């Protein structure tokens, strides 16, 4: 028996106007909802993550303590658990799967929270990377519901440079002769391995490699790290799932949709939640400067950047104790 819950949404009209058929969200909860239903924390998933990877942010000795909070970890569309190219019915399988935005993700998460779980108030939405992008989206899309957000190593709109970085890893995957426009008969393994190998140059900072910090996380040399990244992507991920979520990431912009109609500043100004923005100064694609711009327009926000040679992967549980400690302190500040 699988250790998670499933919410059946039926057919969902997407922001694009297309229909996501028989949509489902997979989620897991930790802790107990209090009588006032005031202790809710939403923890969406990041790019190559599921609710299982999110468990690294949760613990009885952590700020996200299941003895105090009711934590809902929701799997993003396209991650292989919630509706994805790899698990949909034939007419929406693989390359036929419709483009899903973060607006669509949060629209459906909202249905889960309000219709299934009967929750009206969210104490905190937080997360790493694409999960952090979803925290901004929650705060802009449902400003009356969300009391606080803490996006770390994330942004409210994907920058042009971030978009270009993603084009690079995408091109490495789609160059595989077995890719066939997403209509492959077997996984494009060479492309998946190339994707992982290229990505490893972006996930960590230049300092990480210069200081040989890969040895601190169990790799004897750089080649060992690269092979591990190759194998992780080749063994654990469907190519269409990876590229579908990559498209969702590229389209990230909290002003898209019927509420703000591409007025980005208006969307930022609409966020009522207490906000702590926590970039890593050595992150190579979610840049500190982007968060500085956001902070000018989010009224109840604090800007708390952190240095880490681990770069974007500073936030990966177990990599950087200092990052983890600062993250927990910031979460406690918001929840208290």
Average pLDDT rounded to a whole number, residues 226-233: 98
> Tokens 């789609």 identify what position?
174
Average pLDDT rounded to a whole number, residues 228-240: 97
pLDDT band with cut points at 50, 70 and 90 for residue 63 = very high
pLDDT at 225: 98
Q: What percent of the chain shows pLDDT beyond 70?
A: 99
**Span 173-223, pLDDT tens digits:** 999 999 999 999 999 999 999 999 999 999 999 999 999 999 999 999 999
3-state DSSP call for residue 231?
helix
H or E stretch at 154: none
Provide the mean pLDDT of the chain: 97
Q: What percent of the chain shows pLDDT beyond 90?
A: 99
Give CA–CA dist 221/280, Å, rounded: 24
Instruction: Tell me the domains of the chain and their CATH numbers.
Output: 5-159+254-335 (3.40.50.1820), 162-246 (1.10.1740.110)
Give CA–CA dist 261/277, Å, rounded: 24
Cβ 195 vs Cβ 167: under 8 Å:
no
pLDDT band with cut points at 50, 70 and 90 for residue 90 = confident
pLDDT at 99: 98
3-state DSSP call for residue 198?
helix
Q: What are phi and psi of 77, to 5 degrees?
A: -60, 140
pLDDT band with cut points at 50, 70 and 90 for residue 2 = low
The residue among 294, 292, 301, 297 whose CA lies nearest residue 269 is 297
- Give yes or no for residue 1 having a pLDDT over 70: no
């Amino acid at each position: 028996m699988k250790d998670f819950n499933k919410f059946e949404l039926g057919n969902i009209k997407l922001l694009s106007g297309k229909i996501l058929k028989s949509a489902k969200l997979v989620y897991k909860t930790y802790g107990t909802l209090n009588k006032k239903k005031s202790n809710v924390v939403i923890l969406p998933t990041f790019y190559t993550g599921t609710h299982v990877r999110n468990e690294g942010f949760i613990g009885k000795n952590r700020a996200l303590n299941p003895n105090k909070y009711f934590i809902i970890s929701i799997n993003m569309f396209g991650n292989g658990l919630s509706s994805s190219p790899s698990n949909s019915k034939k007419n929406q399988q693989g390359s036929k799967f419709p483009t899903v935005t973060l607006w669509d993700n949060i629209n459906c998460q909202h249905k889960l929270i309000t219709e299934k779980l009967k929750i009206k108030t969210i104490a905190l939405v937080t997360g790493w990377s694409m999960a952090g992008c979803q925290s901004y989206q929650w705060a802009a899309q449902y400003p009356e519901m969300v009391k606080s957000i803490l996006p770390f190593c994330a942004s409210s709109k994907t920058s042009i440079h971030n978009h270009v970085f993603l084009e690079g890893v995408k091109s490495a995957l789609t160059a595989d002769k077995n890719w066939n426009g997403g209509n492959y008969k077997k996984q494009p393994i060479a492309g998946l391995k190339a994707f992982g190998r290229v990505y490893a140059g972006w996930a960590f900072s230049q300092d990480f490699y210069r200081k040989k910090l890969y040895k601190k996380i169990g790799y004897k040399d750089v080649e060992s790290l690269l092979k591990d990244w190759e194998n992780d992507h080749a063994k654990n991920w469907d190519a269409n799932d990876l590229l579908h979520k990559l498209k969702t990431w590229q389209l990230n912009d909290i002003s898209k949709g019927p509420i703000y109609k591409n007025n980005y500043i208006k969307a930022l100004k609409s966020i009522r939640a207490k906000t702590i923005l926590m970039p890593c100064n050595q992150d190579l694609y979610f840049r500190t400067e982007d968060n500085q711009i956001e902070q000018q327009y989010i009224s109840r926000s604090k800007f708390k950047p952190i240095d880490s040679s681990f770069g974007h992967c500073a936030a990966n549980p177990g990599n950087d104790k200092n990052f983890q400690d600062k993250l927990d302190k910031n979460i406690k500040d918001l929840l208290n």
